[in-house]
Amino acid sequence: MKTFAHFNASTVEEAVSLLRRYRGRASLIAGGTDILGKMKDRILPSYPEALINLKTIPSLDAVNEEDGLLSIGPLAILEDIAHNPTIRAGYTALAEAARRTASPHLREMGTIGGNICQDIRCWYYRNPDNRFPCLRKGGGRCYALEGDTRYHSIFGGSVDEGCIAVHPSDTAPALIALNARIRTSRRTVRAQDFFRVEVSRTTILADDEIVTQIQVPRPGNGAKSAFFKFALRKSIDFPIVNCAVMIKTSGGKVSSARICLNAVYVKPYRAVKAEEAITGEKINEASAGTAGDAAVSDAKPLHDNAYMVQVARTLVKRAILACG
């Protein structure tokens, strides 16, 4: 690794001030499970001149529920979220998403803020020593389009319809399904509006902006949520497809639904057609299957990943049935 400066921030304001000082040439570190690998392999054209440690900021790992609102600090450890009794009871999809992320050791290091802000895992983008200067690095082409697309987008691309790398987070679709909001050092946005595809960027965060809190409204009576994930191994692996669902029922029928897939598109994919298909219906094999079909009706699989369409269809169906 190259040399870099290291700062232990004591407040959010100090962290933001340091980011402004370095003008895009500094990176944040908390659990370090993503950034350190990127630095060791030198996958990006530029190397951070400084790392700003957020773990030294008090209370950014707090988890509290008050007045029907769950507040989660961005430094909350994934393993703690997975086993938190309040989250397991009232926000099931989020607890299960955290439980299914990576391995136990990595969950004890990784934070929820890092999980939603992590970089893409495309093997061309991640190849050591910037071997493939692709679109997401400011280059001129997406190498995956003519290469191995086994784990790439089934719903098209981005960056001028080029990049087809998928978003890898497990907790992101759960937060979107649960209608969460992300609070930063300068604004509050809906979780579904937090993600953006740009060069070396997966979120809306500016160079001098950090996540300070995640807010999740309690689903309330008549609501259930679920999370399902398909990966080659049950632990460690990033998702090939995952799915989070929150469904509210009234009178035995679905009154509203929020369904989000991930690892199938460049951002978490809100399956609106599936939500419309299940709303007003009783939850059963037939209605869940119809919603699953609707979820992938706009899919455009590539030459190596048509199997992901069936996986996504099945996960939507299973997640809906789990909320029945």
How many CB atoms neighbour CB 225 within 10 A?
Answer: 25
Q: Tell me the residue type at 143.
A: Y
Cα–Cα dist 188/163, whole Å: 28
For the chain, list the domains and their CATH numbers. Answer: 63-116+167-322 (3.30.390.50)
User: pLDDT digit string (tens) for 223-250?
Assistant: 999 999 999 987 678 999 999 999 999 9
Please say whether the beta carbons of 149 and 303 come within 8 A: yes
User: pLDDT digit string (tens) for 198-224?
Assistant: 998 999 999 999 999 999 999 989 999
Q: What is the pLDDT of residue 161?
A: 62
User: pLDDT digit string (tens) for 134-165?
Assistant: 999 999 899 999 999 999 999 999 866 689 99
Question: What token pair was written down for 27?
Answer: 């990176």
Q: What is the pTM of this model?
A: 0.97
The whole-number average pLDDT for the span 295-305 is 97
Q: Please, which residues bridge with residue 198 across strands? A: 201
How many CB atoms neighbour CB 208 within 10 A?
Answer: 18
For residue 243, give the nearest of 170, 190, 306, 293 by alpha carbon. Answer: 170
- Provide φ and ψ at 203, rounded to 5°: -135, 175
Please say whether the beta carbons of 253 and 282 come within 8 A: yes
Cα–Cα dist 122/119, whole Å: 9
Collapsing DSSP to helix, strand or coil, 90 comes out as helix
User: pLDDT digit string (tens) for 26-59?
Assistant: 999 999 999 999 999 999 999 999 999 999 999 9
Please give the mean pLDDT across all residues of the chain: 96
